[in-house]
Amino acid sequence: MQSNEEVVDIQKEVTSFKRDFYDLCEEIGRVIVGNKDIIEHVLTAFFANGHVLLEGVPGLGKTLLVKSLSKALGFDFNRIQFTPDLMPADIVGTQIVVERSGGIKEFEFSAGPIFANVVLADEINRATPKTQSAMLEAMEERQVTVSGKTHKLTNPFFVLATQNPIEMEGTYTLPEAQLDRFFFKVNLSFPSFSELKEILRLTTVNEKYVIKQVFDSKNAAKRVAEMKKLVRNILVSSNVEDYVVNIIKMTHPENQEMSVSNPGGDTVTDFIKRYVTYGSSPRGAQSVVLAAKVKALLDNRANISYDDVDKVAVASLNHRLLLNFEADADNIKSKDIIENILEKVRNKR
């Protein structure tokens, strides 16, 4: 049983996390008009130690969002512009020949732009699948292997990739294995009338707001590490774990039964069987739980609830479902599938 002092300390940490989180949101929001939920999603993934895929047509501020995040955190930032002729070595780096004293020539590793705290993979789906796959090891293992030698990436390491809608010319669909490495996939919508007017006011004048660093430069990395550690320490009850597992299981047409701890377990709906080819991987469950932990902290709690899970399920899972041609023909999106599952599992808990 926790002592009163321990409870007070935990509450202080939770309060401090919420304050710092929203300070970052506010600072980034000074240059990003609207999209407050998008900013919160990006920061949620960052503190859960995941990566984010942003999808939207050009000109919606995806690149500005990433730059603003790196400035607010005070971390190194690199941008990789993905094009059809980009090669894997252009991302991770390569071995080059250098001449030492005495005329001795040796191979030396020349690090690529992936070696930064915050990496913007801009228009990632304009590169070929071979080049896209060069990101796999970096995103999952926080390292790259070149010529048989492993090189650790900087810490913290955060990839925020942008992609144009796949209907646009000159784009390639991301491999399922790479999509699964993204913690969240978030879609940016076109700004409203008032938001577009505000964008004009901010971007067509001489004076522009300069993002300020929220954390002290000497302690930024330490503070981020503390916040990430706190996220992992948030409690998850067995019932909420069952809820998450049931959601993931329901995305698989071939795995139809719900948990026996959920009385009245039922089979997957015909809606899911009709439109889903493959469901979420276990990474989807991990993403849901970690994101829900961040939501709990933002609500001044040290344990997650069903509502926390519901808030993050779509962003965590919408890129992890593989829909069939019938779904495309009927204009059914992954979001529709997930919301259908949430409603069904919610009624069974």
At 90-132, the pLDDT tens digits run: 998 888 877 777 777 777 788 889 999 999 998 888 888 788 8
Q: Count of residues for the chain?
A: 349
User: Residue 26: CB partners within 8 Å, gap ≥ 6?
Assistant: none
Above 50 in pLDDT, residue 261? no
Better-predicted residue by pLDDT, 33 or 279: 279
d(CA 322, CA 278) in angstroms, rounded, equals 5
Better-predicted residue by pLDDT, 165 or 213: 213
Residue pointed to by tokens 């001044």: 300
d(CA 154, CA 133) in angstroms, rounded, equals 20
Residue ranges of domains in the chain: 4-83+116-208+216-231, 235-348
Q: What are phi and psi of 314, to 5 degrees?
A: -65, -50
Burial 297-308 (b: 16+ CB within 10 A, else e): bbeebbebbbeb
Closest CA to 320 of 285, 293, 272, 271: 285
SS3 letters across 155-193:
CCCEEEEEECCCCCCCCCCCCHHHHCCCCEEEECCCCCH
Right CATH number for 235-348 from 1.10.8.80, 3.20.20.140, 3.40.50.300, 1.20.1370.20? 1.10.8.80
12-16, 123-127, 299-303: which has the minimum mean pLDDT? Answer: 123-127
d(CA 211, CA 232) in angstroms, rounded, equals 29
pLDDT of residue 234: 92
CATH superfamily to which 4-83+116-208+216-231 belongs? P-loop containing nucleotide triphosphate hydrolases (3.40.50.300)
